Amino acid sequence: MSITRWSLVLLIPLLMSACGANDLTPAADTVTIADDAVTSPKPFVRAEPLPVPLKHRLEVKLDPVTHSFVGRDTLMLLAPVTSVEFLLNAALTPKSACRLERMPDSDLPDQSLVGWRLEQDEPAAAWIVEYSGELFQDVSRAVFSRENVGAEIRATVSEQGIYLAGGGGWYPLTEDGFVSFRVTTVMPVGWKSVTQGKRVHESVEAGWTRWTWDAPLPSDGLNLVAARFRVDTRMHGDTSVETWFFPEDSTLASDYLDACERFLDLYESFLTPYPYPRFAVVENFFSTGYGMPGWTLLGQRVLRLPFIKHISLGHEIAHNWWGNSVFVGDGGNWCEGITVYTADYLYKEMQSAAAATQYRKDLLKDYTRYTRAGGDFPLVEFVSRHNAATRSVGYGKSMMVFHALEELVGRETFRNALRRVVAERQWADASWTDFFRAVETEAGMRSLALEGERKQWIERAGAAALELGVTAVRRDGAEWLVEIELKQVQPGEPLVLRVPVRLNTTGGVIEETVVMNAASHRLELRTPNRPGSVSVDPDYHVFRRLYEEEMESTLGLILADEAPVFVLEEGLAADMADACRDFAANWVEGDPVYSTADELVDFGGTVIWLGTRPPAFRPAPPELHMNKLFTSFQGERFDPGNYALVYTGKRGVDRGFMAVLADNAEQLAAIVSRTPHYGKYSYLGFASGRNSLKGNWPAAAGPLIRRLD
């Protein structure tokens, strides 16, 4: 079992789900399952799991007080071999009855792991490795939001809690593809461990608790956490729905269990039966938003956010189909795009057509802004997100590819294609090609009919750039004739595009979808009514770069700049000044850069103002009024001593301004961790630390809208 290529799954800890982090986006409303969201699934025969090449039989003893870790793993292979190579956390020392040697560090791209080789003369199918050491990482700077994945925590054993990532090397990592696990944890009484699979044994002896978890289904890694949890459980059909929360947050359990049941009903209505025996929502002692097979791990601050159970929770449940049971194969990580499409975006569709349109526009804004400075790449290269640019491609562009497929063939056919992929590829690798072939099959197309479009969106970087060329209007008898020229102006060969065109007339709206496969296309529309205006892709169905005029300023614009300058209001009270500096330290990774208002004259970058009142160097929004009795913003009243406000503006292309105002340190401290989760909004209002106002400035019409009269 020689390792010649270290698996990406092993080198990249499970920062996200088995394949990605969720998009923490505030929701306006609880998800309600509309009648048209529930379909009658077309039956498919589901694939049975193939035998895994390796089974781990683990026992780990964890002491939170001393950070000590003692492990024993029996690696059970399908066929006997004379040597085994594996990776182990650098803080752990292995021992074995077999010959054991350390591999050269130069062979390893990840220096937090060490390579080892076991050898013996006679082939064996079972290999035993024992190992021990201290595992501890400082989690105080770990952050997680829509824009920021944050510091990487691999493996830590502490009195706060225990977190062991799948790629953290707390068990021998081999290159055997998908594996299965049976793990026994030994911890002090009162501590409870949780991982994937089912708990099959529990006992207490001499102050230590033994719990055994059996996870026989194939997976690409094992995460394990432990703490002093309170566990609440209910059965939803054959699925055990569970919450593992800290005692102080146990009152949240009922709402989370209700939400889990709603999402399970939703996904089973148009996909296939839920693939695992349980789904658990587990609370973490530092900021996370991860999804693993059969469970999700949410940091305490994340868990308490009111919108999480309405949006982000459903995203993690959807990952149990996409990425956790249908695995990501070669050719790019598709699972984040389809999870966003069948979760976050679907919930906006269920809310309203306007909400879905705004969601598509937000994705295009992110892509346009974050990839403009060289951050673009083809989807075939996407593995996981680590900044705003990789998220805008791996999540946003990917989602828009699936949207284009559904727009092409219709919802029923598209969902049949999704069920086909699950039925044929569950417990196995799937690729982008599998999705395109399934759509062709369900739509009755010829084989490879969509191959050109697959290549242009998956193997080629970039997006469409549209231009509205010459337009002309003239009378032609009793009708009006409108001539429209559409252009593709992005670099490279023209794309195959389906471009919606809307003609507004005195008698109503005319909609036309233009199929473009050339740099220029001329369209003629006839109408008996006088034309008023024409708009190209007004609802943002095409994956394209937006014009600057189409994009309003948002917090995402501020978050996209990794080097903002912070300016503090002069004369602040000491506690308020400290709260401002704490906000700045939590906004950026590394040390914040501070400046003064006088020094901004020649500075062209992003500026963040922190204080109690708007700065003198920039006009305040006309909707903001402050007096001794109260403050009003966007028509909402905020009482003194009880609020914090955030608003944004532009400072040129891809550079922004943000003001963060609060009239005391306590209110500012209350929004430090909340604010980055609202990246798509232009302004925010908080009362007693809770969000009560959010919205966007109006954007200009842009050059793809033209008046004809």
CATH code of the domain covering residue 661: 3.30.379
HEC sequence for 330-394: CCCCCHHHHHHHCCHHHHHHHHCHHHHHHHHHHHHHHHHHHCCCCCCCCHHHCCCCCCHHHHHHH
Tell whether the model's pLDDT for residue 17 goes beyond 70: no
Task: Tell me whether residue 377 is in a domain.
Answer: yes
Whether 453 and 480 share a structural domain: no
- Model confidence at 42, in pLDDT bands (50, 70, 90)? low
218 or 7: whose pLDDT is higher? Answer: 218
Whether 665 maps to a domain, the answer reads: yes
pLDDT at 292: 95
Are residues 524 and 651 located together in one domain of the fold?
no
pLDDT at 30: 42
Check which CATH number belongs to the domain holding 486 and give it. 2.60.40.1840
Q: If you write DSSP's letter for every residue of 564-613 in order, what string do you get?
A: -EEEEPTT--HHHHHHHHHHHHHHSSS--EEE-GGGGTT--S-EEEEESS
Residue 487 shares a structural domain with residue 427:
no
Tell me which DSSP letter residue 309 carries. Answer: G
pLDDT in the model for residue 151: 54
Examine the domain organization and report whether 690 and 580 are in the same domain: yes
Nearest to 341 by CA among 361, 356, 358: 356
Same domain as 672, residue 649: yes
Judge if 566 and 690 occupy the same domain. yes
C-beta separation of 270 from 252 below 8 A: no
**Residue 86 maps to a domain:** no
pLDDT at 50: 77
In which residue are the tokens 């080198």 written? 11
Q: How far apart are CA 9 and CA 175, in angstroms?
A: 9
Query: Is residue 21's pLDDT more than 70?
Result: no
Instruction: Classify residue 687: in a domain, yes or no.
Output: yes
* pLDDT category of residue 34 using cuts at 50, 70 and 90: very low
Confidence category of residue 556, pLDDT binned at 50, 70, 90? confident
Whole-number pLDDT of residue 36 = 43
Which residues, 6+ apart, have CB-to-CB distance to 327 below 8 Å? 18, 19, 178, 218, 220, 425, 427, 428, 429, 430
Residue 196 to residue 14: CA distance in whole angstroms? 13
Please give the single-letter amino acid code of residue 421: V
Q: List the one residue out of 255, 659, 704 whose CA is nearest residue 484.
A: 704
The domain that holds 347 is classified in CATH as 1.10.390.10
In this structure, are 455 and 525 located in the same domain? Answer: no
Distance CA 223, CA 294 (A): 11
Domain boundaries, position 363 = 326-459
Q: What local confidence, expressed as pLDDT, does residue 1 receive?
A: 41
| Block residue for tokens 């005029």 | 549
Q: For residues 503 and 450, state if they share a domain.
A: no
pLDDT of residue 140: 81
The model's pTM: 0.85
Residues with Cβ within 8 Å of 189's Cβ and at least 6 positions away in sequence, in order, are 204, 207, 208, 209
Note whether 445 and 339 are same-domain residues: yes
Averaged pLDDT for residues 226-251? 97
Q: What is the mean pLDDT of residues 75-98?
A: 96
| Mean pLDDT estimate for the chain | 90
Quick one: pLDDT at residue 6?
29
pLDDT score at 158: 97
The reply to whether 672 falls in a domain is yes
Is 635 found in the same domain as 503?
no
In whole angstroms, give the CA distance from residue 664 to residue 611: 9
In this predicted structure, the answer to whether residue 500 has a pLDDT above a threshold of 90 is: yes
- pLDDT range class, residue 45, cuts 50, 70, 90: low
Among 424, 444, 459, which residue terminates a domain? 459
The set of residues, in sequence order, having a beta carbon less than 8 Å from that of 273 and lying 6+ positions away, is none
Question: Which residue type is seen at 624?
Answer: L
Does pLDDT of 143 surpass 90? Answer: no
Least confident of 120-124, 136-140, 220-224, 526-530: 136-140
Q: Using DSSP, state whether 237 is helix, strand or coil.
A: coil
Beta strands 54-63; 179-188: pairing state: parallel
Which of 492, 507, 542 is where one domain is finished? 542
**Structural domains in the chain (count):** 3
Question: Does 208 map to a domain?
Answer: no
Please indicate, yes or no, if residue 310 is contained in any of the structural domains. Answer: no
> Which of 542, 576, 599 represents a domain boundary (last residue)?
542
186 closest CA partner among 215, 160, 209, 212: 209
Q: Are residues 484 and 361 in the same domain?
A: no
Answer yes or no: do 472 and 398 share one domain. Answer: no
pLDDT value at residue 382: 97
Mean pLDDT of 39-46: 58
**Tens digits of per-residue pLDDT, 653-668?**
888 999 999 989 999 9
Q: Does the pLDDT of residue 22 top 50, yes or no?
A: no
Within-domain flag for 271:
no
Residue 373 has pLDDT above 70, yes or no: yes
User: Is pLDDT of 197 > 70?
Assistant: yes
